Chain A
């Protein structure tokens, strides 16, 4: 079963606008990670936020984590056409003696010039 669920499923914006994607999950986590995937390619890691952190920044990316609500958001500021991709959240959780990274279904972001 999927741990993370992103919304919206798809997002279409103009260059220069901000894009916000949300992720909800169900069980306790060690950390939450966001990945990006260009069409037909592998995933690339963007940012990791630990369960004891509330906010993290990396360049134009801002991630928040609310463990009481079991949710996270990814904000991309001043978006560019090159940001067009699918974005996935993944929760890192302990279970059965191992850490596993479980992904959601992703948000498809289209940034129009």
Chain B
């Protein structure tokens, strides 16, 4: 059974802390994505990666960075957490190539920044 695993379902952090959100997929997918989800705004793309060590900015990259050192792992980093980064964060993956297809999502990480 295919799986995208996010390391933490719930996190509570303080303003200014550095936060790491980890995502691992076991499907050998080339493409990985980080979205944040807020009520009324749907899912917004933060960063994505099409290959190891490769990253591209999505629609809302400010305040975030990412790391993809291995194919199966895509990490989202909040260098200095702020209260407006309180949100649900969703990681997803899919196979690469020109025949794009469905995304497989993790269960989400709900982050609260105090």
**What 1/0 mask marks residues of chain B from 1 to 34 whose CB sits below 8 Å from any chain A CB?**
0001000000000000000000000000000010
B40-48, B64-72, B77-85: which lies at the interface: B40-48
CB under 8 Å from chain B, chain A span 3-39: 30-31, 33, 35
* A88 and B43 contact, CB distance less than 8 A: yes
B62 within 8 A of A: no
B74 within 8 A of A: no
Q: A-side interface residues toward B, CB under 8 Å? A: 1-2, 30-31, 33, 35, 40-45, 48, 88, 90, 92, 96, 98-106
- Chain B residue contacts of A33, Cβ below 8 A: 102-103
* A41 and B108 contact, CB distance less than 8 A: yes
* A48 and B101 contact, CB distance less than 8 A: yes
Task: Identify 13 residue pairs between A and B in the complex whose beta-carbon atoms are under 8 Å apart, listed by A's number.
Answer: A1-B59, A42-B106, A43-B43, A43-B90, A43-B103, A44-B105, A48-B102, A100-B58, A101-B100, A102-B45, A103-B42, A105-B41, A106-B42
* B50 and A98 contact, CB distance less than 8 A: yes
**Chain A, Cβ-Cβ closest to B33:** A101
Interface size, chain B (Cβ < 8 Å):
27
- Chain B residue contacts of A90, Cβ below 8 A: 43, 103
- In the A-B complex, the 9 residue pairs with the closest CB atoms: A42-B105, A105-B42, A45-B102, A103-B43, A43-B105, A99-B100, A42-B107, A103-B42, A104-B42
